[in-house]
Chains A and B, each alone.
Chain A
Amino acid sequence: MSDKQTRFDMPPHTDVAWCPGCGNHMLLTAVKEALDDLGIDPRQLVMVSGIGQAAKAPQYINANMFNGLHGRALPAALGIRLSNRNLVVVVESGDGDMYSEGGNHFLHAIRRNFDVTMIIHNNMIYGLTKGQASPTSPIGMRTPVQVKGVIPEPFNPLAVAIALDAPFVARAFAGDIAQTRSVIAEAIRFKGCSIVDVFQPCVIFNKLNTYKWFREHTCSLPEDHNPEDRMAAFALAIQHEPLPLGIFYRNGKRALYEDQAGITETPLYRQPPPGDDEFEKLIDAYR
């Protein structure tokens, strides 16, 4: 693990609620270093999350934090961005939070294309509720609930995102901190809705998708892959064996929701209430 100090570090005595060996620790390092690389002011950053082990990540980052309800990080992030577009908004939560409980918001956040970076801890298991299937668990995986094995087809976040023309779609593996850091930095730098699905081993409950398994079943994207080629990106997103890592898709042409919705630089908390003249005009319409 990297020992680099960042301005996003919490005091050393901070009690981190993650299990020893969890992929979350490496991902946290990658996120803090990426934020630091970008020179972001912690006071201008809001880390937004839902509920779950991954959703605790903002607790361990020195920045503003909105740790809301399970599945509802994205709507809160939207409300924050539309109220103050000077803020950098990063959503960091788990696969259950973002793809299951919050699945509808995932679709509609992409449709809107507001400036948000989603970092999704994808460990293919529910950790905090002790080991049930997640929407990305492989078919056949046995758990205390899926006693005969997982039946539904796993959710493919990258394919769905590219199908919806999400303008920045990437996948990383937490075990590779350097690459994860660089992909996350790119994603945050990108103006628009960027999605980084991060493979992250759960060492307690997922005995199948281990560090070793991820190393053996992932690869880099082909060197000649053009991230502006949506069809090629989609083909790579539905590839199973091995699972490519890197920036699959980029579309710099999608307009930003904030611009289209006429959101100004003035945060809403600074916006003066309507003047008496304007208010009188409003009433006059009913004369």
Chain B
Amino acid sequence: MSDLSMVFEGAAGQGVQTITRMLLPVLKNCGHHVFACTEFMSRIRGGSNTTEIRVTEKPRQAYVRRIDMLFALSPKAHEHLDRRIDADTLVFAESEQCAVPAKGNCIETPVKALALEAGSPVFSNTVVAGMVLGLLAIPPEELDAFLHDRFQEKGEEIVLKNIAAARLGFEWGRKCPAAGSIKLPRIEFGGSAAELLMDGTAALGIGVVAAGCNFISSYPMSPSTGLLTFLAEKSDAFGVVVDQAEDEIAAINAGLGASYAGARAVVTTSGGGFDLMQEGVSLAGMLELPLVIHIGQRPGPATGLPTRTEQGDFNLVLHAGHGEFARVVFAPGTLEELIHLAQRAFAVAHRFHIPVFLLTDQFLLDAETSMEAGAIHRFPLEEAIVETGKEYLPYLFTEDGLSPRGVPGYGAGLVRADSDEHSEAGFITEDFDVRRRMVEKRLARLGPLREQALMPTVTGLIDNARTLVVGWGSNRGVIEEALDLLGDPRVAGLHFSQLFPLNPAVASLLGERKLIVLENNPTGQFAGYLAIETGKNIAGRILKATGEPFSVEEVLEALRKEVGHE
């Protein structure tokens, strides 16, 4: 087996996430590549939530529909997962907890009984983790360190009971007849590829810290809140000023005030909150202030599906804010890209004095993946602030449209920023000639921004390819894996991690190949934009809008249809 898919299902509040937290480091430390993603309901208790853990031979960053092993811990499991359970799925469930499913290979699993044996039903999650280790023949001692760390503040007794619970689970798993049919993937040669384990939010946070970010003002909104929490946790260690704003309007205006005063500022939100920020985006354009705006997308319109995933806000971000000004939109697709593009977002915002967007989504932010530490790079920070002289002009006309950036209180000059059309000194003006020159000034930077725009990443061999599967943001992993499984040298992939502006070389890279654009929204927003920008015809669109991520299986099926493999 090259790939094992385990799903843990439970009601909200049942702590299914804890099982993942126990198993992922153990599997990673054994040298496996792991990937985990979650889907959960917008509620605090009840319902049916799942986490999928994939143990894979090659590094993978995508969701699979198939379930090899399911731990069904709530009565809703079968209803919720029916379409993902097939005859080969091993369903571990307690008949007392969970109705016997119509399909799947159901194995009576005494989670509660073993937890009680260990002392209390609260040890159920630890029992399950132990069972998995038993089934996979991984020594249970691997879990001990984690249990120590996690429960030591509750006292030695609790630690020991958890260890006992894990052992009981392990023994049951080891003896379970199904254990023989479960095989872990081969460990890749070398075995040490997986040094780090983190989710998308942590990668984004690491990138933001690496970029020297020292200010965040935001209002909590799923799935974007993680960045606010991350920076709050690190605020003392890294000198980050953290302010929870009264609303998103306050958040972006505080961010701009901070940027004006010389901070390296970020705001984080989701589509609905970003709707409220739009006037602030326009203000950033007018005042020529650097600001990084992270948008963790979720399905809209309005409140939509608050805890689920979609790529529906590209058009919003592309056009946000009235009036015309320069901006950049990045859409990272891997942990590495999150770390690197967060840094690039700050660098570009501060080099060009513009708002820069980082467009992510729930799937990418919550997914946890193992990665190599060596893949993380820190880029040097560019000095962007000048000491002002007595005659300082904040909006001085220059050849490239960029005026030296002064901040108040640093130098002999005054820094005046006005949301009205303004003179070089920053005062209100209605002089038509100055207006025209200021418009040109603000837009001149689009030239170099285009030239410096990141080219898309190619999967496969583009020279031989007659068809290109185009994706952006969080769909990088699923396209790469589906293309790998398709194994057709005539089909290559192209992943855009910068959506705007596009590098002028993109059109020639696309050439005359058949273009299929895959994105998680109902209308193909990026496809439409790519067609306009490059003048190319988009032959096919693979779209989705259920609130779930694309699965490898559905992408593979769709690609087979598109390239005539059926």
Contacts and interface: CB of A to CB of B under 8 A. Distances in A.
A and B associate: yes
Contacts, number: 183
A65 to B, nearest CB: 4
Contacts of B251: 75
B426 A268 contact: no
B212 A75 contact: no
Interface in B200-244: 202, 206, 209-212, 214-215, 217, 234, 236-239, 241, 243
Among the interface residues A68, A71, A270, which one has the most CB atoms of the partner chain B within 10 A? A68
B262 A267 contact: yes
Interface stretch (B404-412, B484-492, B515-523, B558-566): B404-412
Contacts of A263: 241
Given A80-B258, A274-B238, A56 B263 contact: no
Contacts of B359: none
Nearest to A65: B416
B293 to A, nearest CB: 14
A274 B212 CA distance: 7
Contact of A75 (B215, B254, B412, B419): B254
B261 interface: yes
A3 interface: no
Chain B: interface residue count, which band? 35 or more
Interface string B43-60: 000000000000000000
Given A261-B241, A278-B238, A286-B196, A79 B418 contact: no
A269 B262 contact: yes
B49 to A, nearest CB: 24
Interface residues of A, number: 52
B198 interface: yes
B257 A64 contact: no
A67 B258 contact: no
A79 B206 contact: no
B381 A83 contact: no
Contacts of A74: 250
The secondary-structure label for the interface of chain B is mixed
B246 A107 contact: yes
Contact of A65 (B206, B263, B410, B426): B426
A36 B565 CA distance: 81
A107 B209 CA distance: 31
A83 B246 contact: no
Given A68-B287, A82-B241, 17 more contacts: A48-B257, A65-B416, A66-B260, A66-B417, A76-B260, A77-B257, A83-B241, A84-B408, A104-B246, A104-B250, A107-B246, A108-B250, A261-B241, A267-B409, A269-B261, A274-B238, A286-B197
Interface of A: 17, 42-44, 46, 48, 51, 56, 59, 62-69, 71-72, 74-80, 82-84, 86-87, 104-105, 107-108, 261-263, 267-271, 273-274, 276, 278-279, 282-283, 286-287
30 contacts: A42-B414, A43-B412, A48-B257, A56-B428, A64-B409, A67-B420, A68-B257, A68-B419, A69-B279, A75-B245, A75-B251, A78-B217, A79-B253, A79-B257, A79-B259, A79-B263, A80-B260, A82-B241, A82-B254, A108-B246, A261-B243, A268-B214, A268-B215, A269-B410, A273-B211, A273-B212, A274-B212, A274-B238, A282-B206, A286-B198
Interface of B: 195-198, 202, 206, 209-212, 214-215, 217, 234, 236-239, 241, 243, 245-247, 249-251, 253-265, 279-280, 283, 287, 373, 376, 378, 381, 385, 407-420, 426-428
